[in-house]
Amino acid sequence: MAFKPHVSSWGYAFFLTVNATSTWAGIFPFLPLEFQTAEVTLTFFLAQSLAFWGAFLASVFGSYWFPHEARRMLVSLSAIMVFTGSACLIGAMYLADFTLVLVGGGGVLLGVGCAGLFMLWQRYFASLPSEEGNLRLMVGTALAPFIYFALYLVPIALTAFLIPLVFVPLCGLCVALSVREMKVDQPMFEDVPRQHPRVYRQVMSDFWRSALCVGALAFASGVIRGIALLHQEVSTVVNVASMLGSFISAAVLLVLWYRASFRFGLTTVFRVVYPLIITGFLLLPFLGAFYLNLFAALTYMVFSLVLMLMMMQCAQVSRDRGINPVFIYAFFGSVVYLMQSLGFLLGWLSDSVSSMGSEWLFVVAMISSYVLGLTLLAASGTLFKNLTGRAAVQADPIEFLPLRREPVRISQDSPGDQDASGIRTEDVDSLQGGKPVKKRRSDTAKRRSVEKKRRNRPSPSEDFGTIRDRLSKQCFDLKDAYGLSSRETEVMELIARGHSVAVIAEKLVISENTVRTHSKHIYTKLDIHSRQELLELLETLNG
């Protein structure tokens, strides 16, 4: 798969640039310094943060109770709100009597508008196959810093006007063009949550720890954001580090993905960066301004990484479990941005603890370390283990399947036959002896030997991932040879064991339409069209 930027990648890059100018203390570097009073900045960032979080929280309930109305989020409406919010900030410079009103209104409009565009992009990337969606998302993330830094080449007097008049329309145009490619006939878009609430309860039960881990890092970034408003030199570092973090994280992931396939979860990322972040907070009261800048840069680099991974995680959950992509992303966002807002208040208000010395940094370090420590306990399952008697269950990892995989020949869509398990699939050309499996078997032997020994829980089912018999091993061999996801491998094994659609849906806590969609993808990738052919293909393996 080529890395050529798609129109959606450019559109997402423009959106991240627009969002950076309003979320990370961004647009203020492009406005006159005399305009940036403490009253103005606090009013704007409180309004923007609360509106941003409120939009995600409202979308959780809206997408659950009114799924059809939630699908009608208009590109033009979100773009108009972002444009109007930027215009309010510009107008506040010239209408002194209405400065705070315009600044507060601009913060609300920018918060809701940016949240709406985030969810529009989430729906788009979730609608694509995982490899294609993740690739376009990462390319767009890597392009954004170049566009953002180009703003510094433009005179400051023009930059504030350039964002609403040029960048916002470009972003809206790219979103509109990208949305036309969406395949809205997928279960995730046709889903009515109230018809199977157990699926949504299971999703929230499985992923609240992941959301909390991202929220803890958002809390740390919010603290730094609040401090940045008190120290102008830190604001510049935060902006630059945020965009550099976006580029570095996207570039590194692209290189690693091109070289190998891998998977990991958001809780794993949190455990890896936890020692760095908590050590940084503990050293904060003892070191000087240079260290504060360095720690601010590190914090926002990490936060830029997890925001990109959060979007990938939510898209994969939507595909694997067939749930509304707005719901899962809004669920994550409502947790993450609430904690970021609380961190922002801590960073801002801590300066009033003491007007002398650095006592306020001790308060910041103590509270932040406490929040991070509790999150680590919750993520590992030890916080509630004694109460529930159970360890934590790991959520579905983010999968990066091989990019350099031989293409699978796909036939035209046509009505399919119904196999013995009750699953209707596409008609495809017959399999020719299972040769691709044997050809690629040696390339994946080591990975299979590791994967069969331990389970990295990819779904709610209790026994998937355990090599119990010859059929289980054969299914994992087929997974590696044809690039099936963990969820598709799981469904495939249950099909091979003769389970019906209803039984599979019950075991995996997903809807029956989602099972049918997964079976269609499985049979297309394997180039078969019945359960019998699947069994014949499995028998060609030396399991």
- DSSP characters over 92-161: HHH-GGGHHHHHHHHHHHHHHHHHHHHHHHHHHHHHS-HHHHHHHHHHHHHHHHHHHHHGGGS-HHHHHH
Min mean pLDDT across 55-64, 158-167, 360-369 is at: 158-167
Strand partners, 263: 399
3-class secondary structure per residue, 100-112: HHHHHHHHHHHHH
Of 202, 182, 216, 189, residue with least CA distance to 509 = 202
Which of these CATH numbers, 3.90.190.20, 1.20.1250.20, 3.90.1640.10, 1.10.510.10, describes 7-388?
1.20.1250.20
Q: Answer whether 7-388 and 419-539 agree in fold.
A: no
Q: Which two tokens stand for residue 319?
A: 């595909």
- Are 302 and 217 in contact, with CB atoms under 8 Å apart? yes
The count of other CB atoms within 10 Å of the CB of residue 431 is 18
More confident residue, 195 or 427: 195
pLDDT at 400: 82
Residue 400 parent element (H or E):
strand 398-400
Pull the structure tokens for residue 522: 């499985």
Q: Given a cut of 80, is residue 25 above it in pLDDT?
A: no
- For the cut 90, the answer to whether the pLDDT of residue 481 exceeds it is no
Nearest to 440 by CA among 178, 261, 207, 252: 261
Q: How confident is the model at residue 410 (pLDDT cuts 50, 70, 90)?
A: very low
Residue of 261 and 139 predicted with greater confidence: 139
- 519 φ, ψ to 5°? -65, -35
Confidence class for position 356, pLDDT limits 50, 70, 90: very low
Average pLDDT, integer, range 242-261:
86
pTM for this prediction: 0.82
Fold of 419-539: Arc Repressor Mutant, subunit A (1.10.10)
Higher per-residue confidence, 229 vs 97: 97
Beta-carbon contacts of 155 under 8 Å, excluding residues fewer than 6 positions away, are none
Q: List the chain domain ranges.
A: 7-388, 419-539
| Range scoring the smallest mean pLDDT among 130-134, 369-373, 384-388, 536-540 | 384-388
How high is the pLDDT of residue 239? 72
Residue 454 has a pLDDT of: 38
pLDDT at position 273 is 92
The stretches of 24-98 forming alpha helices (DSSP H) are: 38-65, 67-70, 75-94
Residue 512 has pLDDT above 70, yes or no: yes
Confidence of residue 344 (pLDDT cuts 50, 70, 90): confident
Q: State the chain's mean pLDDT as an integer.
A: 77
478: confidence class by pLDDT, cuts 50, 70, 90: confident
pLDDT band at 404; cut points 50, 70, 90: low
Using CA atoms, how far apart are residues 481 and 478, in angstroms rounded to an integer?
Answer: 5
Please report the pLDDT score of residue 310 as a whole number: 93
Q: How far apart are CA 371 and CA 169, in angstroms?
A: 40
Over residues 422-476, the pLDDT tens digits come to 444 433 333 333 333 333 344 444 444 434 333 344 444 444 455 667 777 888 8
Label residue 294 by pLDDT band (50, 70, 90). Answer: confident
Average pLDDT over residues 207-215: 92
- Whole-number Å distance between alpha carbons of 65 and 139: 34
